[in-house]
Amino acid sequence: MGVYTGDWKLHLPEGAGAEELFKSFKEKAEALTVKVIRVDSKTNAEKAIIEEIKAANIKLAVGVPMTLVDALSIQESLKGDGIEFSLDLDRNLIEQAQFGVSQFDLGIAELGTIVQDAESVHKRLVSMLPPTHLAVISTKTIIETFADSLEVIEKVYNGEPSNFIAFVTGPSKTADIERVLTIGVHGPGRLIIVCVDE
C-alpha cells in the first residue's frame, strides 16, 4: 500500500510527445472548454500557474507536491500577492479553496484526456473539490489513443494497476435537466492544463 512512485515516462510507446499528438490533444481538450497552456520550462510552468491563480481573483488555492514544478516556490511567490497556496492535507480547507493544482501522469491525444494515478487521497481531494482545477502534465507524456494508455498502465504497474486511476476529460458536466448541457456539477467546472516540455 501507499503511493506508487513508478515512473510512467519509462513505459511510454514510441512517438509519445510528438508535435502532432500535442496538436490533437490541445484541439480536443479545447473543444471541451479546457484551457491548454504550453510552456518550455519548469520556471515558465510555475509562472503560468501563478498567473492563472492570480487571474482567478481568489484568496485561497490548494495544491499537492509535484515533480514537474516546485510547489513551494509557487507558494512563496503567491504569498507576496496575499494569496495562500496551501499544500496541507486538510479536507475542510481544500473544500473551501477555489482553485486546485495537481500533476497528471499522461495525456491522450485522440480525446484530450488526462490520466492520473490518484491513489493519494491528497491528490484526489485537490483535483475534485475546488471549482477550478489546474493540471500539470509533461508534453512528452502525450500518447495517441485510449488503448495505448491501458498498455502503459499495465506496464507501469506490472499488470497490477494502482488502486485508483483517474481519467479526466474536460470539466464536470450534466445534461440531466431538459438535456441542457451545464458545466460544473460535482467536480471542477473549469479545467486548465499546463503542458511542460520537460
Partner 1 sequence: MPIDNAFKVRINKALNDSNLRGALGKFGDVFPESRANVYQGIDFEELRGIIARNKANAANNMEALVDQFEANIIKRGGQVHRAKDGNAVFQILKDIAKTRNAKKLVKSKSMASEEIHLNQHMEDTLQMVETDLGEWIIQQVNEKPSHMVMPAIHLSKEKCAEIFSQALGYKVEADIPNMVKLARKTLREHFMTADIGLSGCNIAVAETGTMCIFTNEGNARLTSSLPPVHVILVGYEKLAEKFSEIAPIAKALPKSATAQTLTSYLTMISGPAETLKDKEGPEIVKKELHVIFLDNGRRELLNDPIFKEAGQCIRCCSCLNVCPVYQLVGGHVFGHIYAGGIGSLLTGFFNSLQETDKVQEMCIGCGRCRDFCPGKIDIPNLILEMRNRVRKEIPLPGMQNFIVGSVLRNKGLFQFGLRQASWASAPFTTTGKDGNKYIRSLPFGFKKLTDWRSLPGFNSTPFREKIKSIKQEVTNKKGKVAFFGGCVIDYAYPEIGESLVRVLNKVGFEVVYPEQTCCGAPASYMGRPDVAKEIAMQNLQHFANDEFDYIVSACPTCTVALKEKWPKLLEGNQENKAIADVVAEKTLDFIKLMHTLKKAQGGAWNEVAATCDVACSAPIKVTYHDSCHLNRELGIKEEPREMLVAQSHLSFMEMEEADRCCGFGGSYCIKLPEISTELLNRKLRNIENSRAEVVAVDCPGCLMSLRGGLDTKKSNKRVLHCAQLLDGKY
116 binds partner 1 (CB under 8 A): no
Rounded to a whole number of angstroms, the minimum distance from the CB of residue 42 to partner 1 is 28
Measured from the CB atom, is 80 or 178 closer to partner 1?
Answer: 178
158 binds partner 1 (CB under 8 A): no
The residue assigned the cell 477555489 is: 98
5 binds partner 1 (CB under 8 A): no
82 binds partner 1 (CB under 8 A): no
Measured from the CB atom, is 39 or 100 closer to partner 1?
Answer: 100
171 binds partner 1 (CB under 8 A): yes
The residue assigned the cell 512517438 is: 15
CB atoms within 10 A of CB 104: 25
Binds partner 1 (CB under 8 A): choice among 24, 102, 113, 132: 113
189: alpha, beta or left? (left if phi > 0; alpha if psi -120 to 50): alpha
Binds partner 1 (CB under 8 A): choice among 30, 70, 119, 198: 119
Cell numbers that stand for 13 in this block: 510507446
170 binds partner 1 (CB under 8 A): yes
186 phi, psi to nearest 5 deg? -90, -30
77 binds partner 1 (CB under 8 A): no
From CA 1, how far away is CA 11, in angstroms rounded?
Answer: 22
Measured from the CB atom, is 123 or 140 closer to partner 1?
Answer: 123
Q: Which is it for strands 173-174 and 182-183: parallel, antiparallel or unpaired? A: antiparallel
6 binds partner 1 (CB under 8 A): no
Binds partner 1 (CB under 8 A): choice among 41, 43, 67, 163: 163
Cell numbers that stand for 110 in this block: 485522440
Three-state secondary structure call for residue 176: coil
Rounded to a whole number of angstroms, the minimum distance from the CB of residue 40 to partner 1 is 29
Cell numbers that stand for 138 in this block: 509533461
Contacts of 144 (CB under 8 A, 6+ apart): 13, 15, 21, 108, 109, 110
What does the binding site for partner 1 look like in residue numbers (CB under 8 A)? 1-3, 28, 89-92, 95, 110-111, 113, 118-121, 124-125, 128, 146-147, 150-151, 153-154, 159-180, 182, 184-188
